[in-house]
Amino acid sequence: MFYFWTMMSDCILGQSELSQKKWRRTLRIFIQTGYPLDLPSGSLGSYCIYEYHMPCSIGFATGGRTFFLWGGCMMMHADDFRQDLYGLVTALKNGGYSDDMTLAAIAGQHKRLITSPPVAVFPHPLASDLSFSRYWNYLRKQTFVLESYVSKVNWIMNRALFGVHFYLSWGFVCPYVMALVHIATTLRAPYSAIVKEAAGSSCGLKLVSFLLICTLTELVSMWNLTRVEIQLCNMLSPEGPQDSLRSYNWGLVFVAVLVDNFLYPISAIRSHFSQSINWSGIRYYLRDGKISKIERENSSKYTDLGGKHLYGKKTYPAGKSLLGYLSISLAQWHQPKKYDV
């Protein structure tokens, strides 16, 4: 008999069918992971986080095998922990800031398999008050983990991710900057002979048209992937509230793609030189890739991203006493439920 340890975030929705479906339990698999389906609340920050998490779905599109490991859902063999296989327990206990990056580095170093079952998609309603500053703090956290490492292989992997993501992010944004230049030149051409001559010999508008086609293709691809994931979530939890694409603003999705890719390199540089991050009122300091100091502030800052009030984790509203809130909850509990038969 095999035993497994599962690590899951508390701000995602569990699928009722997931526990009934057997994840592939073979010794060949080192880690099984899931991926989040962010449900934006309407703010730009929530759409930026939705866009940032899209690469986590690569395992969904590649038949399950992936190199992305999402820390919000990981399952491993319990014996691997008991035996401290590859020193993974030691690395998690005495290592860096990021558990998923640490485990992904160990899996890569020892050529162990990471898989993502098709059913392991978890709706993640984002908080309705998710401001842009909270998104920036989240992005800083994501780039801060690249400064944390427990081994040489982990350091090389993080540096590679840093460089590739840096290049691809600004490489994605630059064509849109150039497109604005070409459009501005075309609009200015009728009022300047020199600009008109330069614009006439340029293929700028053709490049802008090609960029527009690429942008529409990208948005359609994101729309289709999100549509499939939403359908899967609805099938896995038929008794729950049904999600829909109608709540997505695809204009904001496009803006979020540009904003996220523009800010990522800036955040990565900031994390590299600061070597510290404030998360939920706790400031972490790194030295040689490991946590060297932790400072707790007196007034903790709320940095959780999940809209927990959307799916049952209740807080009593301001201005009402705890007893008043409990009496209301008790009355609601006695009322017939929507799905009672």
pLDDT digits (tens, 9 = 90+) for 260-310: 999 999 999 999 999 888 887 888 888 888 888 888 876 555 555 655 443
Is 38 among the domain residues? yes
In this structure, the number of other CB atoms found within 10 A of the CB of residue 231 comes to 13
Q: Return the higher-pLDDT residue of 196 and 335.
A: 196
Is 294 among the domain residues? no
- Number of H helices and E strands in the chain, helices first, is 11, 9
Q: Which of 23-32, 133-142, 211-220 has the lowest mean pLDDT?
A: 23-32
Is 280 among the domain residues? no
Is 301 among the domain residues? no
Is 215 among the domain residues? no
The answer to whether the beta carbons of residues 173 and 258 sit under 8 Å apart is: yes
Burial class (CB in 10 A: 0-12, 13-18, 19+), 94: exposed
Is 113 among the domain residues? yes
Burial class (CB in 10 A: 0-12, 13-18, 19+), 291: middle
Give the long-range contacts of residues 247-252, CB within 8 A, separation 24 or more: 247/39, 247/40, 248/40, 248/223, 249/40, 249/42, 249/47, 250/219, 250/223, 252/40, 252/44, 252/47
Is 211 among the domain residues? no
The pTM of the full predicted model, rounded to 2 decimals, is 0.75
Residue 330 has pLDDT above 60, yes or no: no
Is 157 among the domain residues? yes
Helix (H, G, I), strand (E, B) or coil at 294: strand
pLDDT digits (tens, 9 = 90+) for 117-153: 877 888 888 887 778 888 888 899 889 988 888 888 8
- Show the domain range for 106: 4-169+220-274+306-325
- ∠ at Cα 156 (94, 305), nearest 5°? 65
Count up the domains in the chain and report the number.
1
pLDDT digits (tens, 9 = 90+) for 51-87: 988 877 766 666 667 777 888 888 888 888 888 888 8
